[in-house]
Structure 1
């Protein structure tokens, strides 16, 4: 393994302390009793059919997930952390809702966001995320990235003896 490969491995390990990939946890289908997880395609993204020139041919998906703050991530306590939802999409319209409130809208030219979920979090907290995405007329739509970003306080991350 050369230096660049070792460095990439170290960087990936460090990222694992501050990022939780939640792309594979999105579901479609309404209430939790009949919803099903959306599969990732060969590129590791959630893709859906392209739109059309006629309004009736517009392709939309409405996906959701409920996310609960874990007690720890890779052995580090999350109590007191700052949390953000980071998203990247390919859609002519994106609407992001957190706990039922519309928080952000975007499109092909505004295709990513980092939304503050909470500062100094309590462990017993749950968030409901809803995304409404409309595919571009010329291409398939996609949710390409979906992560929780953690900023863990130094006193939680390092214990001095």
Structure 2
């Protein structure tokens, strides 16, 4: 049975809800499978102390999905969830930033480790289990109209 690390402060992670607009101006959201469980999620990872949260989130998007783009300077929200770290169930706090993708690379560090696909905002909301991510996906069409 796994130990639960409830007495520790949460590990800090940051990630991006990456999107691009299709020909009709509708947002397409990048989702990917996690390396360990195969569940659908977003590019995210532990915050490295030498990088800010937004910069860390952009690095994770490049490493995990091969995307580059414009990351919002302010997080759209955060959520807490449990994650197994070295056989210990650990609370993580994930800060989520919107990223408008400007380039999709053919080669990137974690290519082949996970499935990556582009889906509609509604489909992304269904695939992503976290309520904050689903809400961000539902709000994305309206948000992108105001900045397009």
Task: Confirm or deny a common fold (TM above 0.5).
Answer: no
Greater radius of gyration (CA): 1
Give the shorter-chain TM-score range.
under 0.3
When normalised by structure 1's length, the TM-score is 0.21
- TM-score scaled to structure 2, two decimals? 0.23
By percentage of residues, which structure has more helix?
Answer: 2
